[in-house]
Amino acid sequence: MEERDYDVIVVGAGPAGSLTAREAASRDLRVLLIDRSLEIGIPDKCGEFIPSLEEMRRLAPRAEDLEALFDPPGWCILNRTSRVRFSFPGGFEVSIPFKGVVVERKLYDKYLAVEAARAGAELMPNAKAIALTGRGILLKHSGNLSEVSARVVVAADGAYSLMARRGGLPVPRDPYDYAVGYQHEMVDVDQDSSTIEMYFGEHYAPGTYAWIIPKGRDIANVGVGARTPYMKPGLGIRDYFDRFVKQHPEASERLRKAKSTAVKVGFIPVSGPLKRTYGADILAVGDAAGQTIPSVGGGIPPALICGRIAGWAIAQHLLEGQTLRLYEEEWRRQLGETLENSLRIRRMTDLLLSSDRRFNLAVKMGLVNEETVMKVVLCHIDAKMKLIEGTLLRVLKR
Ligand SMILES: Cc1cc2nc3c(=O)[nH]c(=O)nc-3n(C[C@H](O)[C@H](O)[C@H](O)COP(=O)(O)OP(=O)(O)OC[C@H]3O[C@@H](n4cnc5c(N)ncnc54)[C@H](O)[C@@H]3O)c2cc1C
C-alpha cells in the first residue's frame, strides 16, 4: 500500500474531533488532530450545558458505556443544575427536574484534546484545512501551505463543514436547517443557579428559544437562538438579543444589572444528521455530520458519543478491513432513534414557534404541560406524543 504521512487526519479539535482522535490513537493508529485556532478551545461558542450521566441514560438509552463519556473532570465544571424551567408566551411556565453540569468549554475542549494527545495523537493548533486533495488535505499552518496525506480524513470541523462538503457528503444548505445562536456571558445576573431557563416567543427567539444558563452564583450564559426564515425582515440576531435582555417581561428584570464579559456566536445544525456520514476515505462527525439534538440544539453529547464510535470504526476499517459504513451503522444503532425523535419533535414545535397565537392555542388545548415537556426534553415519542403530533398537524398546518 502507498505510504501516507498518517493513518488518520482529524480536522477540528472540538469534542467530536478529539474523541475520534483519542479512540483511533489508542488503537495504535498514527493520528494527526488539527485545529485552525491558535489555542484549542478558544474561542468557544456554547451555552456549556451538558446533561448528567443519569439524564443521558434516559435521553440515549441505546448508547453504550456512557459513564466513560459523561464524567467531566471537576475542574472543568463551574456549576451543577437540577431543573429546567420553560417560559412560554403569555406567561405560561413549566418546570421539570433535569440534572446537568455547566462546564467551562475552553477548559473542557482543551482537556479532551490533551486526552487525545496522551493516547498518542499528534496535535497541531493554528493549522487550517483548506481543501481535500484525494490523498489527504491541503493545510495552512502558521502561514505555510503544505499537503499532508492520510488514509482517512475526518470532518470534525463543525456546522456547515467545509471538509464534509468537499468530500461529497450531503451537507444541508437550506437556512431553515440551521439556527444561529448569539450569546453573552454576563455577570450580576439575578438567577437561581440550580435552574436552566428557556424562554420561547416569536418576539425574542423566532424558530428556537432564548436561554439563561447559570455558570455560577451571578454569572450566566445569556443567549438567543433564531432561524432566519422565522425572523422579521430588517431584524438581525443582535436585535432579538437586545429585545430579550431589555424587553422580556421576566428576563429583563433578571438582567437589569447584568454586564457582558464575552460575546459568542455560532451556527447550530437543526435538521438531523446528514443522510450519509461517510465516504470511501472520509467520515463526518459531530456538528459536521449534523449530529445535534435538533429540538434543543445540544451538540456536545452526540459529538462525544459519535466521536468515540468514529475512532473505533476507523480502526476497524484500517486494521480489520471493514468498510467505513460500519461507523454510520453503529452511531445510528446507538443514537439514531434519539436524533430522529428529536427531529420529529422539532417539526412539531416548528408549528408552534412560528406564532405566539399558535402556542397559546396549544396551551389552551392542554398539549403543553409538564408531562409533554419532559418527553420533548428526553426525545420520547410514545402513543400520546403521536396523538399530539397528529392534532398539531391537523389543527395548525392549515
Ligand atoms: C451559541 C451556542 C450555544 C450552544 N450551547 C450548547 C449547550 O449548552 N450544550 C450543548 O450540548 N451544545 C451547545 N451548542 C452546540 C455545541 O457547541 C456544538 O454542537 C458542539 O461544539 C459540537 O462539537 P463539534 O466537535 O462537532 O464541533 P465544534 O465544537 O464546532 O468544533 C469544530 C472545530 O473545528 C475547527 N475548525 C473548523 N474549520 C476548520 C478548518 N478548516 N481547519 C481546521 N480546524 C477547523 C474549529 O476551530 C473548532 O475547534 C451551542 C452552540 C452555539 C452556537
User: Any idea what the Cα angle at residue 160 is, between residues 243 and 163, rounded to 5°?
Assistant: 155
Residue 225 maps to which CATH number? 3.30.9.10
Ligand 1, atom nearest to 265 Cα: 1
pLDDT tens by residue, 208-236: 999 999 999 999 999 999 999 999 999 99
- Give the range among 11-25, 109-123, 356-370, 374-388 with minimum mean pLDDT: 356-370
CA of 21 to the centre of ligand 1 (A): 16
> Which CA distances in Å does 12 have to 216, 225, 362, 382?
29, 24, 41, 37
Question: Domain ends where: 269, 284, 314?
Answer: 269
Q: Are residues 348 and 224 in the same domain?
A: no
Q: Are residues 348 and 316 in the same domain?
A: no
CA of 287 to the centre of ligand 1 (A): 7
Q: Are residues 220 and 183 in the same domain?
A: yes
Q: What is the mean pLDDT of the chain?
A: 95
The whole-model pTM stands at: 0.97
Query: Does some domain include residue 87?
Result: yes
Q: Is any atom of ligand 1 closer than 6 Å to the C-beta of 55?
A: no
Q: Is the pLDDT of residue 37 over 90?
A: yes
**What pLDDT does residue 358 have?**
87
Q: Are residues 34 and 149 in the same domain?
A: yes
Q: Are residues 214 and 330 in the same domain?
A: no
Distance CA 310, CA 302 (A): 12
Please compute, for residue 350, the number of CA atoms within 13 A of its CA located in the half-sphere on the CB side: 20
CA of 326 to the centre of ligand 1 (A): 24
Query: Does some domain include residue 189?
Result: yes
Which three cell numbers, joined as nine digits, stand for 278?
A: 461517510
H helix runs in 236-369, sequence order: 237-247, 251-254, 300-320, 325-331, 337-353, 356-364
pLDDT tens by residue, 274-318: 999 999 999 999 999 999 999 999 999 999 999 999 999 999 999
Over range 251-258, report the average pLDDT.
97
Q: Is 209 helix (H, G, I), strand (E, B) or coil?
A: coil
Over range 243-249, report the average pLDDT.
97
Q: Are residues 112 and 212 in the same domain?
A: no
User: In this structure, how many other beta carbons lie within 10 angstroms of the beta carbon of residue 128?
Assistant: 17
**What pLDDT does residue 146 have?**
96
Over range 48-54, report the average pLDDT.
98
Query: Does some domain include residue 382?
Result: yes
Query: Does some domain include residue 76?
Result: no
Range of the domain at 381: 342-396
Distance CA 234, CA 191 (A): 32
> Which CA distances in Å does 216 have to 71, 86, 96, 99, 254?
19, 20, 20, 15, 15
pLDDT tens by residue, 169-199: 999 999 999 999 999 999 999 999 999 999 9
Q: Is 293 helix (H, G, I), strand (E, B) or coil?
A: strand
The count of structural domains within the chain is: 3
Q: Are residues 357 and 281 in the same domain?
A: no
Closest C-alpha to ligand 1, atom 16: 299
Q: Which residue has the cell 431589555?
A: 246
CA of 123 to the centre of ligand 1 (A): 18
pLDDT tens by residue, 149-161: 999 999 999 999 9
- Binning pLDDT at 50, 70 and 90, where does residue 1 land? low
Closest C-alpha to ligand 1, atom 39: 157
Query: Does some domain include residue 146?
Result: yes
Residue 312 maps to which CATH number? 3.50.50.60
Pocket test for ligand 1, best of 40, 145, 157 (most atoms within 8 A of CB): 157
Q: Are residues 212 and 245 in the same domain?
A: yes
Q: Are residues 34 and 156 in the same domain?
A: yes
Q: Are residues 90 and 237 in the same domain?
A: yes
**What pLDDT does residue 398 have?**
56
Residue from 13, 79, 14 nearest 46 by CA? 14
Bridge partners, residue 263, by sequence = 184
Q: Is any atom of ligand 1 closer than 6 Å to the C-beta of 81?
A: no
Over range 72-76, report the average pLDDT.
97
Q: Is any atom of ligand 1 closer than 6 Å to the C-beta of 20?
A: no
Closest C-alpha to ligand 1, atom 37: 157
Q: Is any atom of ligand 1 closer than 6 Å to the C-beta of 155?
A: no
Q: Are residues 164 and 113 in the same domain?
A: yes
pLDDT tens by residue, 342-398: 999 999 999 888 788 888 888 888 888 999 999 999 999 999 999 988 888 887 765
Over range 80-100, report the average pLDDT.
95
Distance CA 380, CA 374 (A): 8
Bridge partners, residue 102, by sequence = 49, 79
**What pLDDT does residue 397 have?**
63
